[in-house]
Structure 1
Amino acid sequence: MDISILIVEDDDITRDCLADYFRQEQYKVHCAASAEEAEQRLQAEPVDLVLLDIRLPGKDGLTLTREIRAQADTGIILVTSRQDEIERIIGLECGADEYVSKPFNPRELLARTKNLARRVRAAAPRQPATTANLRRFDQWRVDLDRRLLLSEQDEATPLTHGEYQLLCAFIHHAGQTLSRDQLLDRIKNREWAPNDRTVDVLVGRLRRKLKDDPASPRIILTVHGAGYVFTPRAVPCCG
């Protein structure tokens, strides 16, 4: 798999070391020292993944994450210099797929990158097929192959990897109350900290995309002290 990655890092030594490491692993590597330079690179040549330092001169990595996610389903791995839960939560809310903390193990970073690249490629739009892997619930359809939410008017809303995994967990356990720990176990390829709020963040993002009023939700209900329950039953549909 020919994977293209953009490394956005203002520290010259770190950026060069990462670039050399990924090139040795047969990645096509682009580099940028700032968010502004990264934007120019992305306009010139789209990439599969962005490895993005949060703390950059000028525009920060969280702002760039939000802007990338508004335009494309590019894989985004955020890099932070410390274990900052608030920073991680904001990053996920902005649309990041993964995060790693400095100092990181290069092999772990490579494994996360490979997994995310595989998921991004699998979710990329394909040629129309005679059948689609669709599930219908409430007023929505979800295209499991392309990781898209489809409205009754056929408006498509892309799901990030975390949103997609969470929705799949809900669909497969409709009507059951799932605790946060159970949901975390079903969202793979991450390391969790105690009192991790990732599930709550992803539930909030899913509710917004499903137009499920958080003050009075119908689709994803909060069971106080227990977790969440997905109320509709998803059934296969043909388009």
Structure 2
Amino acid sequence: MNAQAPPEAAHVLLVEDDDGIRALVTRILRESGYRVTGCRSGADMWSLQPDLAVDLVLLDVMLPGVSGFDLLRALRAKGTVPVIMLSARNEEADRVLGLELGADDYVAKPFGRPELLARIRAVLRRASIAPLPAAAARPEALAFAGWRLDLRSRALVDPEGAAVDLSGAEHDLLLVFLEHPGRVLGREQILEMCRGRLAAPSDRSVDTLVSRLRRKLEPPDGAAPVIKTVRGSGYMLSAKVVRA
């Protein structure tokens, strides 16, 4: 097994209609220690889904029949399995659309073996950070300081009961904080957990995103902020989180 192989033989579902690319990527992943199931269309993917437990989906954008973007929407409506989009189109609009629809990363063709493997490892690593205990039922919502985030609809409601719009990046950042309450998160940690959502990953982009989220979580006059700045270290969610 490759020295950098996944320790628990992660299972990857590859949805790619080009037979040559599908065979090449399958070989690369298997040589690196991954288990791989390949298919060529959305119909094939859905036929496999009921009986197939996967850790990551590699999803081509241009597929026969239903597009990769439509399949991504459907996957996100059903769950949170990590998804990396693959596409010969490297247009910024396509990358932004994929990320806003919930993709964890977007890889433009042609790609090299090192890049593909590095991105897969990064997405799987982010997905494994602070997982819920296996015996615990996945909560439907997270409540904090009077706020409530619905994990299914991704809707945020303020203490007065009003809905607050969040961008995809703001939602993911909030979820990171809610999964690590009371813990100081450095910029590098936040970058690692939100990289797929940041157009130009950097310390500055993290600060900007945190600032945007804090404005939307503005507390009443005199109340302590929900997200605190810890000088020289990073940021911390100061509120208690209740899983509902």
TM bucket by the smaller chain? Answer: 0.5 to 0.7
Aligned to 1:138: 146
- CA deviation string 1:68-123 (max 9, x = no partner): 11111111000111221221222122221111101112211111111212232343
Matching of residue 235 in structure 1 with residue 222 in structure 2: no
Residue 235 of structure 1 aligns to which amino acid in structure 2?
A: A
1:42 maps to: 49
**Helix, strand or coil at the partner of 2:57:** strand
Counterpart for residue 232 of structure 2 = none
Q: Which runs of 5+ in 1 are unaligned?
A: 153-160, 172-182, 204-218, 222-227
Give the drift of 1:165.
4.5
Aligned to 1:95: 102
Paired AA for residue 29 in structure 2:
F
Partner Cα separation in structure 1 for residue 177 and residue 114 of structure 2? 32
Report the Cα offset of residue 19 of structure 1.
0.2
**Kept after mapping to 2: 8 A contact 1:170/1:229:** no
Letter in 2 for 1:64: L
SS of 1:140's equivalent in the other structure is: strand
Q: What are the residue-to-residue correspondences of 1:156-195 with 2, within 5 Å?
A: 165-167=172-174, 187-188=194-195, 192=199
Partner Cα separation in structure 2 for residue 185 and residue 118 of structure 1: 9
Alignment partner of 1:65 out of 62, 72, 75: 72
What letter corresponds to residue 102 of structure 2 in structure 1?
Answer: G
Aligned positions of 1:74-153 closer than 5 A: 74-122=81-129, 123=131, 126-128=134-136, 136-140=144-148
Deviations 1:153-203 (A, max 9, x none): xxxxxxxx95565226788xxxxxxxxxxx979833678469xxx99xxx8
CA RMSD of aligned residues (A): 3.8
Q: Percent identity?
A: 34
Q: Residues of 2 paired with 1:138 and 1:115: CA distance?
A: 34
**TM-score relative to the length of structure 1:** 0.63
Cα contact 2:126–2:193 (8 A) shared by 1: no
The TM-score with structure 2 as length reference comes to 0.62
Contact 1:7-1:29 at 8 Å conserved across structures: yes
How far apart, in 2, do the equivalents of 1:165 and 1:126 lie? 22
Local SS of the residue matching 2:126: helix
